[in-house]
Structure 1
């Protein structure tokens, strides 16, 4: 063994001991490995549209390459895209932002991380409702902050209340980080619920609000409402995070954008200038075409996903031991599988928790799902319905058969 291997852990920063790999990325790696070994796996794990990027958007990217738009850009983004983002907020959210209040990043994930990087000092607290996207707590930890996990209940759709938020705020609280529609639960805050939350924040002017709106267009039961449309008074300390990955099936193009007060946007842009410099000019051109072009592709995708959602919920609802609420948004279901915990597999193993259930489904049914523990809520699993109906039907049938074999 080489000297480098012996001392490898010592070379790493201590902060790396605090974080873990993304659960969804690890699941994808495992599925890919099983498939490379010739095994058939139905994959409900990855939060990625199964559709191709719409043709007019892809064409804009190809045109950008042909026309030589392959250079560095301004750190905050090309003006064409910033204008398209500005128009998007006016058209869809009735919100006005100056161009210096907008910034483009290499995915929404980079912008969330950057916002935390430019604001958190050691042990500053970030309130994160559970269930949460798996990356939120680790991004806080990587920036020397302290994630404060705010528990919610499935009884009220996994939403925080004004009372629970008030109780969680301390003099160290720097951010409330919301995700609506939520990954993994699909919960979507109403205008009234947002109003109650914003009333609490108005009493605590030291607390910033970051809201991840990446699933904004996948709202099935009600129109999405942005918090700034509910209470403009909190505008000077609210950061909106969004991107083109989900709505336009552009995950690989890696374009996100943020809107917020100019002091925060400037700080984020400064950090980007010293890290990734700028987002791909090719991708920015395609994103501008997405935001400013025909939006029927988004409406069509939302209608398609509504059908897929209803199919998956109806099928899982027939499985003994599984309770599957109908999500209001995003493209995941988050069923309660506590009725399966404590049961015994045909091989004699007792399912002690949601992780055991996930492994059983993969081994016995060849169906990959994610555990609720990774999202801060044990006893649940997450399944993506961003896949075709035949796959949904086949996968749910396999899960039903695997559950029927439990004793």
Structure 2
């Protein structure tokens, strides 16, 4: 266990970890779906509702200005955290899904029949379906980068997919199923050599590694608060100013306007052009507290701790007869997706729950990837900073116990 982190002290920030499920201490291993939220973040939510609740950007009174300051302070925290060039490049959304849909809908308006978009076989449905919806309107074609048995993208095949009709690339930084860390910097450079912009789905990367959007040179980067120890309902779209200025607004309404008449409307400057209506300013402020929390713990410490948990869990699971782990890249993220023999993922997950262990089962919103591996679903265990080696041992012992029932 990392010597830089006091895990007992960290766990004390999460009351849910004291719960019992069917008489067993809860072991929460569904962090890739959503992480738990520490007291310091929840306290920010309480403070905002009790002491600073007023609509933002629209009032001259003190409370409105306080709420506005909290939102814009979080925008600056995000800008600094991902090394964006300006707060104008940081747009608040409801999550990664909405951020991707924003780009698909607005950039999609600039696509034409016969244009092509490159994605990978490991994408979450949120980075497939929005592009298909655009494809139906514009007859745009998706081209798919194949994935190896180890769960890695074929870079030669990726480069071969580029044609004169390629207009966009959308790919995951880290697979939510396999834990694969894609070489996105290299993939972005390849796309840019072909003059093609790139969106990165960073939902599974941001909780586990430092991300520098300038270093990656990505055109868009999307992620969610609720996977980063923050509240639900808040996400971020980073976009290069050039593209954001080129794209039309995603939604219309208050806040995103410059001037409105019944004949014509002009739009606000970035980032407000893409933030129609009253934002979730309470949870945006709380997301700022979550970023502070991660920085205080230290991403390097978090990553080292999670890697230790992953390595131990992998070693112990592989001792179980019939174990199949999907995604075996060296240096993968803190996710293990597996099946044991012919036991369905649903049965395994249900029985693990009876032992107090929360894992994810099914297709994980990645049905094309399930088809690639010839399975209906998988069991997924995913780790966070508050998980312990003792929990890993109890989890693997429980999997072995369940496997022995069949």
TM tier, smaller: 0.5 to 0.7
Structure 1 residues without counterparts, runs of 5 or longer: 1-35, 341-350
> Which residue matches 1:333?
336
1:319 matched residue in structure 2: 320
Hey, what's the Cα distance between the residues in 1 that align with 2:242 and 2:193? 22
State the 1:210 CA deviation: 0.4
Distance 1:296 1:386 in 2: 19
Task: Please show how residues 112-261 of structure 1 align to structure 2 within 5 Å.
Answer: 112-120=100-108, 121=111, 124-144=115-135, 145-155=140-150, 157-161=151-155, 163-189=156-182, 193-205=183-195, 207-219=196-208, 224=210, 226=212, 228-230=214-216, 232=217, 238-247=219-228, 249-252=229-232, 254-261=233-240
Q: Could you report, residue by residue, the CA deviation over 1:294-350 in whole angstroms, capped at 9, with x for unpaired residues?
A: 722464654553343234212221122324337735442134x5x83xxxxxxxxxx
Counterparts of 1:5-84 in structure 2 under 5 Å?
A: 47-51=32-36, 53-71=37-55, 80-84=70-74
Question: Matched residues in 2 for 1:48 and 1:368: separation?
Answer: 8
Alpha-carbon distance between aligned partners in 2 of 1:311 and 1:363, rounded to the nearest angstrom: 23
Q: Partner residue of 1:361?
A: 348
Paired residues of 2:84 and 2:238 also in contact (CA < 8 A):
no
Q: Does 1:295 align with 2:292?
A: no
Determine which structure has the larger strand proportion and give its number: 2
**Aligned residues of 1:70 and 1:280 also touching (Cα < 8 A):** no
Gaps of 5+ in 2: 1-20, 59-66, 254-274, 354-358
Query: 8 Å contact 2:104–2:131 — kept in the other structure?
Result: yes
Let me know the Cα RMSD of the aligned residues. 4.0
Q: Is the 8 A contact 1:217 1:298 kept in 2?
A: no
Secondary structure at 1:152 match in 2: coil
1:21 is matched with: none
State the TM-score, normalized to the length of structure 1: 0.67
Aligned-partner Cα distance in 2 for 1:328–1:177: 22
Higher helix share: 1
CA distance in 2: counterparts of 1:96 and 1:359, whole angstroms:
41
Change (3 A) 1:71 1:164: same
1:10-54 C-alpha deviation (Å, 9 max, x unpaired): xxxxxxxxxxxxxxxxxxxxxxxxxx999xx99866734453x23
Cα offset, 1:130, TM superposition:
2.1
Q: 1:312·1:392 contact (CA, 8 Å) conserved in 2?
A: yes
Count of matched residue positions in the alignment of Structure 1 and Structure 2: 335
